[in-house]
Structure 1
Amino acid sequence: MTYWRNALEELAPDCVDVGPELRMALKVEFISAIQRFVNLVKETCLSHQTIGRRIDDLGDSIEGTLKDKLSACVLYSLALDESTDQSDTAQLVIFIRGIDINFNIIEEMLDLCHIKGTTTESVDHEILSYHCLIHQQQLCAQKLNMKHLMTDLVKAVNFIRSRVLNHREFKAFLDEVGSEYEDVVYFSKVRWLSKAATLKRSQLLLPEIKVFLEEKKQNVDFLENEEWLNDLSFFVDITEVLAELNLHLQGKDQLCSSMFERITSFTKRNWNFL
């Protein structure tokens, strides 16, 4: 009530001590005026120049805050990740981690650079470098020689998901047979952790996928091959535990020592299984 009384004093100081009915009418009018103002602000379209200036201001503010934090750090480390976008332009993402005298750790994205020409350069001072632990593990996973499994499954999944009619009919078919799952999981090479989800869901829906592909006159010989099915079961188990490990290795505030401990523990725990 104090807030409304102060607001009413500013709007109509001579009417504060009026009867309750007029006071309520003033309160309703005040709320309505505020709501009209809010709606007007929401409907106001800003020019692209204004939006651009606002983005620049936000960027400058973030950059200034990051510089202030890093200036207090005594040690730094850089993490670099290079990839290629859809326009075949190499993009280099630079992450920086610093620690101050009070052992407060700062970890932020420092810059995103477009790389032209060669992506390898020499530096004129000694630098300690190591390959990303996650990428090392991913490279090892590629040596399982299970490419034929992914080729067959991705082809089947793409046949279902990439065509609107097929996708709609497959989802309707799953609903008709009372399947526990509503759809297959699409696989993307960019999001390589989706491999485990694609394999797991495809294995659970193999009977339905086989029936659907047969109705569409597609080749299903691989789904009747016992050796292929055994390899699939093995590959599903492997990728599932590897995906779990990868998730634990990602995110902020990850130390190399803790990441190495996770990989070592994972190797010892799964040595007999592998």
Structure 2
Amino acid sequence: MAKRKVDSENRAFNNRWEAEYMFTDIAGKPVCLICGANVAVIKEFNLRQHFETKHKDNLKDLDAEQKKRKAEDLKKNLTLQQTFFTRAKSQSEAAVKASFIMAEIIAKSARPFTEGEFLKSCMIKVFDVLCPDKKQMLANISMSRNTVTDRICEMATDLRAQLSERSKDFIAYSLAVDESTDMTDTTQLVIFIRGVDSNLRVTEKVMDIKSMHGTTTGKDIFEKVCQSVTDMKLPWDKLIGLTTDGAPAMCSEKCGLVGRMRVKMQEENCTGELTAYHCIIQQEALCGKVLKMDHVMSTVTQTVNFIRAKGLNHRQFRSFMQEMDSEFADIPYHTEVRWLSRGKVLNRVFELSNEICQFMDSKGKDSTVLRGEKWKCELAFLADITAHLNALNLQLQGRDRMITDMYDAVKAFQVKLLLWETQMQQCNLPHFPCCQVMLSEVSTTVFPKTPSSHGGLVTLKHKKKSLELLCTQPICH
């Protein structure tokens, strides 16, 4: 005889059981209104047995009408309890979600993890003024340092898992590798990945960041990259491109990363060829170094370092700027690793040249070079052309940039150089505001119309040749 299945009998809860046995139906299961116990099978015998065994003596003095009212009251209390726990669960989920959102903001802004509690205390003060009734909801959000750390680790793990899952559909991918030293003198190796699937959906992500505490030779970088590729379970035969800068540890064919990656692909029996690229932004920065004005930049750097290196000089310079009612209160540092800072420093030094000369004289420093008309004209030109280079550099940066757009930006800059060269021969300087200021202050002999004797024109020609080389070499994002 086959075993009888209760689920197939389509048993239904009878409403009269609420008053008779103090039971109600919740999600298809009979639940006792008095003790909260549930019965697995919807059957009157089971409900009656539970009621007579445990609750009959407590309700024996009630008549039918009283038992009915008692059941309704118990049912209302049970509904309130369920609503309370549902609301508490919803508030708890909202608090966790809010904690993740705040942790994400802290991580993206590179703020210390300990600032979670500070942000929370600020928000509580604001809520206390604007909406004090919701202050407790904010107090339930956990933003301790350990919590923020855990939240960020969970998000990073999830993002990595998503990237790993999406990489399974790649039909081809390329890597971009760059290394730089942080403020603690630790080398950070950043590995970017760009992959495309069969639907031509492009994925650009940071695949991994590796800290390198020892040497940074080609072998060390190669081992870190291989470890990341292995951890992501990426197939070597689908690797088609590798982008690096011009450092020997990166691009050397024998002992650099590029050469070792090609050897690795041969060991993995990959039929495709690995194409090595030179980062277009780094190439543009290298082209900018053909400007033969090191004597100008070295003088500017020495002057800025004299003002900023010592706290006393820096404080006195800022006080001097306030006394002079200057438009600017300070002068920025120049850092070689940040290419865009050069233009800002040059432009500020040019605008504050008179104030800087007065301050240097007050400190007993020789400012003869800073006052020279020729040197100031060269400073003006260098500030203007560096500003144009910075504008080009910014055009080459950013996410979702296509190589065709970046190539067009470089070619357009070449055309601009030809225009500027022609305009400089005519002493027409609408695109060189600093030079225009100097032209109005000094004699025209400093800005001769003969191209052969104009240092600025020679620099423009060098720059144009370098950009022509840039446009003829393999480049990538």
Q: Which amino acid aligns with 2:371?
A: E
CA shift for structure 1 position 139: 1.2
Alignment of 1:180 with 2:327, yes or no, is: yes
What's the counterpart of residue 138 of structure 2?
Answer: 38
What's the counterpart of residue 199 of structure 1?
Answer: 346
Aligned residue among 118, 121, 131 for 2:217: 118
Distance 2:176 2:382 in 1: 31
Confirm or deny: 8 A CA contact 1:223 1:229 kept in the other structure: yes
Alignment of 1:239 with 2:339, yes or no, is: no
Q: Return closer, same or farther for 1:53/1:10 CA change in 2, 3 Å cut-off.
A: closer
CA shift for structure 1 position 100: 3.2
Structure 1 vs Structure 2: percent identity of aligned residues?
36
CA shift for structure 1 position 86: 5.4
Aligned residue among 74, 78, 91 for 2:188: 91
Distance 1:218 1:47 in 2: 50
CA shift for structure 1 position 78: 1.6
What's the counterpart of residue 254 of structure 1?
Answer: 401
What's the counterpart of residue 67 of structure 1?
Answer: 164
- CA displacement 1:169-222 (0-9 Å, x = unmatched): 222222222222222122112212100000011101100110011111112121
Aligned length: 247
Distance 1:200 1:232 in 2: 9
- Flag the structure with larger Rg: 2
Q: Which amino acid aligns with 2:339?
A: W
Confirm or deny: 8 A CA contact 2:281 2:396 kept in the other structure: yes
**TM-score normalised by L of structure 1:** 0.79
Distance 2:378 2:134 in 1: 66
Q: Which moved more, 1:184-193 or 1:246-255?
A: 184-193
Distance 1:267 1:104 in 2: 33
Q: Return closer, same or farther for 1:257/1:216 CA change in 2, 3 Å cut-off.
A: same
| 1:130 aligned counterpart, secondary structure | strand
| 1:110 aligned counterpart, secondary structure | strand
Q: Which moved more, 1:232-241 or 1:165-174?
A: 165-174
Distance 1:87 1:238 in 2: 34
Q: Which runs of 5+ in 1 are unaligned?
A: 1-6, 12-30
CA shift for structure 1 position 47: 6.7
Q: Return closer, same or farther for 1:215/1:66 CA change in 2, 3 Å cut-off.
A: same
Quote the RMSD (CA, aligned, Å): 2.8
**TM-score normalised by L of structure 2:** 0.47
What's the counterpart of residue 3 of structure 1?
Answer: none
| 1:99 aligned counterpart, secondary structure | strand
Confirm or deny: 8 A CA contact 1:185 1:202 kept in the other structure: no
What's the counterpart of residue 147 of structure 1?
Answer: 294
Q: What pairs with 1:21-36 in structure 2 (closer than 5 Å)?
A: 34-36=134-136
Q: Which moved more, 1:183-192 or 1:80-89?
A: 80-89
- CA displacement 1:51-74 (0-9 Å, x = unmatched): 554433222111112223333333
Alignment of 1:108 with 2:205, yes or no, is: yes
Distance 1:263 1:76 in 2: 26
Q: Which moved more, 1:176-185 or 1:205-214?
A: 176-185
| 1:179 aligned counterpart, secondary structure | coil
